[in-house]
């Protein structure tokens, strides 16, 4: 049994900075868990605490049922793949991979056969006698993986192993890592800041921010039912568009969302999914809409109560879609979360006082939209997201999607705390 359980784990450094706060994670045997978040969110610190490379200030970590707080790294039976690979420069590939086995005094034949097997799997067979400095980045990364695989540990710990590779190689290696993990069935904790890696690799994804776990759920649940503004804005590329809006109830009892001077109709279905919206009638909310939940009305057709108009700022044909940058007459939602995401993104300038904001919509390639055209946008209002403007939490109701889901549930909800 190689489940890994983090229980109220916290990390405070000697100068008082807190890196991780009250982290609870239950990773079942064979699960691929991704820890994702912007730089400085504590994900690497958490991983290093599991590895034994950092002291655990609060709480406990248990691997395979044993609490390992005081256990040194070498006894924890976990293998780590570092971002910089950390290959031993003076040893050949063969000796690098076999290093751990040699230390454990396994018979020479067994070491050789295990190393040969791992080399086969990773395509390193003809490089076994070379030194790391004569290998390419991708090959070095595979040697680092080989070194971890060959030890048959209770868990793999990976610290942004793909960050140092070029884009194309990254895509290739991502698929290989996923395949290898599935074949071997070893519990894996994978740290990354890239949400694409998180979504494609994880059985479950845990989003962290400033040392606090925001939400842990399978990728699709994270995407469809983010628990707060941060998760909503972090997961998905291009990011979800977030604007200020007001909820109104018309005379006929129907709900509308007022975005600037325009109105969108909210169906009964949404109200039954999110009963708490009742409390926000007449009040300000933050509305989120994903780029793919919008379409050019000339292609999708006009629909009453589901249309927004906005002048076109920029049109980016991607081949499979067209990304349209539109200037919507509405105030952008700028909270702490969003500012942090924008900084991480590379400093998009956000001005809360501006009366317009740029939103990005993903249109069909059949659109004939041009720059400066007045775009008519069909919005799938059933898929709008609503957030409290004060604390950024998603507005749901009793049926609150949890921050924590148990791993056996592939979608859906269980009880848990929201942040």
Partner 1 sequence: MIAERIGLVLLAVSATVVIAWAYLLFGDRLISRLPRRLNRRVMPWLFVAPAVFVIGCLLVFPAISTVVLSLFDKDGSSFVGMQNYTDMLSNEITQGALRNTVLWVIALPSLAALLGLLVAVLAERVRYGTLVKATLFLPIAISPVAAGVIWTFMYDYQPPITEQTGTMNALVTLVPDTEPIAWLISQATNNWALIAAMLWTQAGFAMVIFSAALGSVPVELHEAARLDGASEWHVFRRITLPLLIPTVVVVMTAMTVIALKTFDIVYVMTNGNYGTDVIATVMYKELFTARDNGTAGAVATLLMLAVLPIIFVNIRQFRLENKEA
Residues that bind partner 1 (CB under 8 A): 51-53, 72-74, 76, 78-80, 82, 84, 86, 88-90, 99-100, 103-104, 147, 151
The minimum distance between CB 147 and partner 1, in angstroms, equals 7
Is residue 284 packed enough to be buried (19+ CB in 10 Å), middle (13-18) or exposed (0-12)? middle
Which lies closer to partner 1 via its Cβ, residue 86 or residue 271?
86
The minimum distance between CB 83 and partner 1, in angstroms, equals 9
The radius of gyration computed from the CA coordinates of the chain, to the nearest angstrom, equals 24
The minimum distance between CB 102 and partner 1, in angstroms, equals 9
Which lies closer to partner 1 via its Cβ, residue 96 or residue 256?
96
Contact 261, 329 (CB under 8 A): yes
The minimum distance between CB 63 and partner 1, in angstroms, equals 13
The minimum distance between CB 188 and partner 1, in angstroms, equals 15
The minimum distance between CB 66 and partner 1, in angstroms, equals 16
The minimum distance between CB 53 and partner 1, in angstroms, equals 5
The minimum distance between CB 370 and partner 1, in angstroms, equals 52
Which lies closer to partner 1 via its Cβ, residue 52 or residue 218?
52
Max CA pair span of the chain = 83
- Three-state secondary structure along 104-128? CCCCHHHHHHHHHHHHHHHCCHHHC
Which lies closer to partner 1 via its Cβ, residue 47 or residue 213?
47
Which lies closer to partner 1 via its Cβ, residue 71 or residue 350?
71
Own/partner contacts of 401-404, CB < 8 Å, gap of 24 or more, are 401/217, 401/221, 401/225, 401/227, 402/217, 402/227, 403/213, 403/214, 403/215, 403/216, 403/227, 404/24, 404/216, 404/217
Edge-to-edge strands of the sheet including 262-266? 262-266, 255-259, 241-249, 284-289, 385-387
Sign of CA dihedral 142, 144, 146, 148: negative
Neighbour tally for 292: CB within 10 Å: 14
Which lies closer to partner 1 via its Cβ, residue 159 or residue 197?
159
Q: 160 to each of 39, 147, 157, 271, 419, how far by Cα in Å?
A: 11, 16, 10, 41, 26
Q: What are 32's strand-pairing partners?
A: 188
The minimum distance between CB 73 and partner 1, in angstroms, equals 4
The minimum distance between CB 97 and partner 1, in angstroms, equals 10
d(C-alpha 147, C-alpha 80), whole Å? 9
CA nearest to 277, candidates 304, 251, 256: 256
Give every CB contact of residue 175 below 8 A, 6+ residues apart in sequence.
Answer: none
Which lies closer to partner 1 via its Cβ, residue 52 or residue 392?
52
d(C-alpha 246, C-alpha 277), whole Å? 11
CA nearest to 132, candidates 99, 161, 94, 165: 94
Sign of CA dihedral 124, 129, 131, 134: negative
Which lies closer to partner 1 via its Cβ, residue 149 or residue 332?
149
Which lies closer to partner 1 via its Cβ, residue 82 or residue 280?
82
Contact 156, 181 (CB under 8 A): yes
The minimum distance between CB 111 and partner 1, in angstroms, equals 13
- Quote the tokens at residue 307: 């249309």
Which lies closer to partner 1 via its Cβ, residue 144 or residue 259?
144
Interstrand relation of 32-36 and 204-209 (parallel, antiparallel or unpaired): parallel
Which lies closer to partner 1 via its Cβ, residue 84 or residue 409?
84
Tell me how long the chain is. Answer: 419
């Amino acid at each position: 049994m190689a489940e890994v359980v983090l229980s109220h784990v916290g990390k405070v450094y000697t100068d008082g900075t807190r890196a991780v706060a009250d982290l609870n994670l239950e990773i079942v045997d064979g699960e691929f868990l991704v820890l994702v978040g912007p730089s400085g969110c504590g994900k690497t610190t958490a991983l290093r605490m599991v590895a034994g490379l950092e002291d655990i200030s609060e709480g406990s970590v248990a691997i395979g049922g044993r609490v390992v707080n005081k256990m040194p790294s070498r006894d924890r039976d976990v293998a780590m793949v570092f971002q910089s690979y950390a290959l031993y420069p003076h040893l050949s590939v063969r000796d690098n991979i076999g290093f751990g086995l040699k230390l454990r005094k396994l018979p020479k034949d067994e070491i050789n056969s295990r190393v040969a097997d791992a080399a086969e799997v990773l395509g390193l067979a003809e490089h076994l006698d070379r030194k790391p400095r004569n290998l390419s980045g991708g090959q070095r990364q595979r040697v680092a993986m080989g070194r971890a695989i060959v030890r048959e540990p209770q868990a793999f710990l990976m610290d942004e192993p793909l960050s140092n590779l070029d884009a194309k190689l990254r895509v290739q290696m991502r698929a290989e890592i996923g395949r290898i993990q599935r074949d071997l069935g070893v519990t894996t904790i994978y740290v990354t800041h890239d949400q694409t890696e998180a979504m494609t690799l994880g059985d479950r994804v845990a989003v962290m921010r400033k040392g606090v776990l925001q939400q842990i759920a399978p990728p699709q649940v994270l995407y469809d039912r983010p628990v707060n503004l941060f998760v909503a804005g972090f997961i998905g590329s291009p990011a979800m568009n977030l604007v200020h809006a007001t909820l109104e109830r018309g005379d006929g009892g129907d709900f509308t969302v007022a975005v600037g001077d325009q109105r969108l109709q909210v169906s009964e279905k949404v109200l039954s999914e999110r009963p708490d919206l009742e409390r926000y009638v007449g009040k300000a909310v933050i509305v989120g809409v994903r780029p793919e939940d919008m379409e050019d009305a000339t292609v999708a057709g006009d629909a009453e109560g589901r249309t927004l108009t906005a002048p076109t700022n920029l049109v980016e044909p991607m081949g499979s879609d067209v990304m349209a940058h539109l200037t919507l007459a509405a105030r952008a939602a700028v909270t702490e979360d969003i500012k942090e995401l924008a900084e991480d993104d590379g400093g998009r300038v956000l001005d809360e006082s501006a009366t317009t904001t740029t939103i990005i919509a993903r249109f069909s390639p059949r659109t004939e939209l041009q720059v400066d055209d007045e775009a008519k946008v069909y919005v799938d209002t059933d898929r709008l997201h609503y957030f409290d403007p004060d604390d950024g939490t998603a507005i749901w109701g009793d049926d609150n999607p949890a921050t924590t889901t148990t791993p056996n549930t592939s979608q859906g909800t269980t009880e848990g705390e929201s942040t």
